[in-house]
Amino acid sequence: MKMLQADYMLTFIVTGSVLFMANSSFKSKLAYSSGNLSVNLLAQAFASYIVFYYVDVLGVRPSLISVAMVIHGIVNAVLNPLFGHISDRTNSRWGRRIPYMMFGMVPLAALFTAVWFPVVTGSALFWYFLTVILLYDILFVMVVLNYSALFPEMFTTIKERASVSSWRQMFGIVGMIIGVALPPLLYGKLGWGPMGAIFAGIALLFFIIMVSSSKEKTVVQREEVGFLKSLKFTFSNRAFVFYVIGSFFVQFTFAVLPAAIPFFTKYVLVASEDSNTVLLGVIFIAAIPCVYIWGRFVQKWGPRRTVIYAVCIYAAAMIPFLFVSSVTAAAIAAAAIGIGLAGLLVLLDVLLSEIIDEDEKRTNVRREGMYFGMNGFIVKWGISLQAVVIGLILEVTGYVKDAVQTEAAVWGIRSMLSVIPLVALVLALVFFYLYPIRSGSTIHAKADISQ
């Protein structure tokens, strides 16, 4: 019965989205936005299940997989600015971004499938895993970074960006739900390999839809300076520095929430594992309609003012986790998190696009690749910080696996969903408040990037 429901869900998503694309008035916006389903589906399925699969199912030593994942994180982070710079300097008849997506999406789908279809056994599994995920990293960054870099170029007004960002996040949330909720249904019935192939096929379908309707400007000034000088210009942009630090703290909370919820439901609420799905599901379900509302607020108030409101709501929603003691109360608090989360999902790319526009005014060059790449490089470390913070809290407060926790440990687990993200969001709020771009303002004097 569960498998049948999963089939119906996938059919509804694919068929409904393709039919929606057929409406000519929305075709370009929706087709581009649908690519975010692919991005989040692959990212969430990989992040949520790959370690479990190789450690618990295939029997690879946890320490070896940890080493591989650390290498994966470093390589993924470094590739972002490097590929961004290369993309900015690309000159082809198809444009700067589209060739990388067009020629990268099929190998990306193949490598995602290969991760779940190991062709070796025993000690060779570690080397197979490390090799495949590094190749997968290269293709994932190449496709996804160029997909993101197209956003400020294809959609140039606040109204367009707010609308498209809302649609992107709606598709992205659906991708998250598929990547997190459907794997147990699929690998339980079909096996891990077929699950990987199905997800790769869905992702490839939406990548094809996205690329087929993506367009680049026919005339755009390419970046001609070297990598290090490009970095210098990027970090001399005051708006970017304030933005990326604020974004780092926000992305840190995005990483903390799904990692902390299983501990919270098991040891604080003393509830079943199904409660994890309930809390995460409530966050996503509450976020879906709110992305549209936040998109309208962006058009009315502008990006800076709106992101401040979104951070405040998101931060306030963390406070109840200091005292809630039932799944119902926690679900209500989780819904409030979804409201603020939706705003930040919509706004981060809109803010970065605004920064890129300002940068073009002072440099006469469009450098979407470098900006999205450096943003990706910096916020990736939020995931590493999340692992360090959670591990430290559990260690210091005396957490013991599968035991009744001490009062200190319970407080520590509560703090992972309240105090820690609240502090991070207050810091984010400071940097977004200092963010210098106001609607219609110009904050930079002209700079000569050719020097």
> Coil, strand or helix: which one is 101?
helix
Q: Which amino acid is at 243?
A: Y
Measure CA 124 to chain center. Answer: 31
**CB-CB neighbours of 370 under 10 Å:** 30
How far is residue 93's CA from residue 102's CA, in Å, rounded to a whole number?
13
Please state, in angstroms and rounded to a whole number, the distance separating the CA atoms of residues 283 and 268.
Answer: 19
Burial code (b: 16+ CB inside 10 Å, e: under 16) for 260-299 equals bbebbbbbbbebeeebbebbbbbbbebbeebbbebbebbb
Nearest to 256 by CA among 71, 74, 70, 419: 419
Architecture of domain 221-440: Up-down Bundle (1.20)
- In this structure, the number of other CB atoms found within 10 A of the CB of residue 241 comes to 17
Longest dimension (CA), the chain: 65
Q: What is the pLDDT of residue 218?
A: 53
- Give the fold, CATH level 3, of 1-220: Growth Hormone; Chain: A; (1.20.1250)
Examine domains 1-220 and 221-440 and report if their fold is the same. yes
- Angle between helix axes 98-115 and 192-212 (nearest 10 degrees) is 170
For 394-411, b/e burial (b = at least 16 CB within 10 A) is: beebebeeeeebeeebbb
Q: Is-contact 255 371, C-beta < 8 A?
A: no
- Return the structure tokens found at 129: 């895993």
The count of other CB atoms within 10 Å of the CB of residue 380 is: 19
* The one-letter amino acid at 78: V
How far is it, in rounded angstroms, from Cα 165 to Cα 30? 10
Cα angle 400, 401, 405 (rounded to 5 degrees) comes to 50
Structure tokens given for 83: 């590929």
* Whole-angstrom distance, CA of residue 46 vs CA of residue 56: 15
Give me 183's structure tokens: 């794997």
Query: How far apart (Å, rounded) are the C-alpha atoms in residues 315 and 251?
Result: 13
Both structure tokens of 375: 């943003």
Domain ranges of the chain: 1-220, 221-440
| pLDDT at residue 220, as a whole number | 55
**What is the pLDDT at residue 74?**
83
Paired tokens of 135:
């190749």
CB of 416 closer than 8 Å to CB of 393: yes
Q: What is the pLDDT of residue 24?
A: 42
Cα–Cα distances in angstroms (integers) from residue 274 to residues 19, 75, 265, 324, in the given order = 34, 34, 9, 18
Per-residue pLDDT of the chain (451 residues; tens, 9 = 90+): 444 444 444 444 444 444 444 444 578 888 999 999 999 999 888 877 787 788 778 888 877 887 887 788 788 888 888 888 888 888 777 788 889 999 999 999 999 999 999 988 888 999 999 999 999 999 999 999 999 988 888 888 888 888 898 999 899 989 988 887 788 778 888 888 999 999 999 999 999 999 988 887 654 555 566 777 777 888 888 999 999 999 999 988 988 887 788 888 888 888 877 787 788 888 888 988 898 899 899 988 999 999 999 999 999 999 999 999 899 999 999 999 999 999 998 999 899 999 988 888 887 777 888 888 888 888 877 766 776 787 788 888 888 877 888 889 899 989 989 999 999 999 999 999 999 987 644 333 344 444 4
Letter for the amino acid at 242? F
